């Protein structure tokens, strides 16, 4: 096992594909912590993290065993992309199951300041800005929202974003630019003030 640890990801994948299960153990131990942390950082739920983590590596195993893994020297980015897609699938499913309509209640759940926990004015203004930003982000096209969330909420570089989403760095930068422009436009149209001052 010791000499396996010195091998590249791609060499380990080849060994595992040809039946060496120890090679997969090395790959798993090499990336389980970072993939687990990546999933938890987004979903913020331990049980859900475990489920998505298991599904991610199950998909990795299936893809390698079926000979569908393409060696491009970016094994970690590939696993992260699988995890990312499973997270997105989970959020889509959750959103479909838990859609709340504001029309069903007498008060505006999304904008009623009386529903804020604190009555301190500064905190209320800050909370409102966060809510407005979140609402604007949710109205962005999915590919723009994805880049914006990875950049601001997960502090990823544009290179990492490009690798995970499978696009060029220029495309990722373009999506971010359009996301910000769209948010500004929507804020202007709806007279939303996006500052704490």
Strands (E), 33-166: none
166: pLDDT strictly greater than 60: yes
d(CA 69, CA 144): 28
What single string gives the DSSP state of each residue in 97-162? HS---GGGSSS-TTT-GGG-S---HHHHHHHHHHHHHHHHHHTS-HHHHHHHHHHHTS---HHHHH
pLDDT, position 98: 61
Q: How confident is the model at residue 196 (pLDDT cuts 50, 70, 90)?
A: very low
pTM: 0.53
118: pLDDT strictly greater than 50: no
133-152 confidence digits (pLDDT tens)? 777 888 888 888 888 888 87
Is 29 in contact with 77 (CB distance < 8 Å)? Answer: no
Six-digit token string for 59? 């998909």
Q: How confident is the model at residue 129 (pLDDT cuts 50, 70, 90)?
A: low
192: pLDDT strictly greater than 80: no
Six-digit token string for 116? 């804020």
d(CA 132, CA 135): 5
58-105 confidence digits (pLDDT tens)? 899 889 988 888 877 789 889 998 998 898 888 888 776 665 555 554
d(CA 32, CA 55): 13
Question: At the top level of CATH, which class does the domain 105-197 belong to?
Answer: mainly alpha
Query: What are the domain boundaries of the chain?
Result: 1-99, 105-197
Six-digit token string for 187? 């804020």
Q: How confident is the model at residue 6 (pLDDT cuts 50, 70, 90)?
A: very high
Q: Decide if domain 1-99 falls under CATH 1.10.1740.10.
A: yes
Six-digit token string for 114? 């009386």
Q: Is 29 exposed, middle or buried (0-12, 13-18, 19+ CB in 10 A)?
A: exposed
pLDDT, position 7: 94
d(CA 163, CA 101): 36
pLDDT, position 181: 83
Is 166 in contact with 146 (CB distance < 8 Å)? Answer: no
Through-space distance between the first and last CA atoms of the chain, rounded to whole angstroms: 59
Residue 31 in 3-state DSSP?
helix
């Amino acid at each position: 096992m010791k000499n396996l640890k010195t091998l590249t990801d791609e060499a380990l994948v080849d060994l595992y594909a040809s039946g060496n299960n120890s090679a997969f153990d090395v790959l798993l131990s090499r990336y389980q912590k970072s993939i687990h942390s990546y999933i938890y950082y987004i979903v913020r739920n331990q049980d859900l993290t475990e489920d998505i983590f298991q599904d991610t590596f199950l998909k990795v195993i299936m893809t390698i065993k079926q000979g569908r893994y393409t060696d491009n020297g970016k094994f970690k980015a590939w696993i992260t992309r699988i995890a990312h897609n499973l997270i997105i699938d989970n959020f889509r499913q959750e959103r479909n199951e838990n859609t709340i309509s504001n029309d069903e209640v007498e008060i505006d759940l999304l904008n009623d300041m009386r529903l804020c926990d604190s009555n301190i004015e500064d905190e209320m203004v800050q909370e409102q800005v966060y809510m407005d930003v979140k609402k604007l982000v949710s109205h962005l096209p999915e590919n723009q929202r994805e880049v914006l969330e990875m950049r601001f909420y997960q502090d990823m570089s544009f290179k990492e974003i490009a690798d995970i989403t499978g696009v060029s760095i220029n495309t990722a930068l373009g999506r971010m630019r359009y996301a910000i422009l769209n948010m500004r436009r929507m804020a202007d149209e709806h007279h939303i003030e996006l500052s704490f001052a």
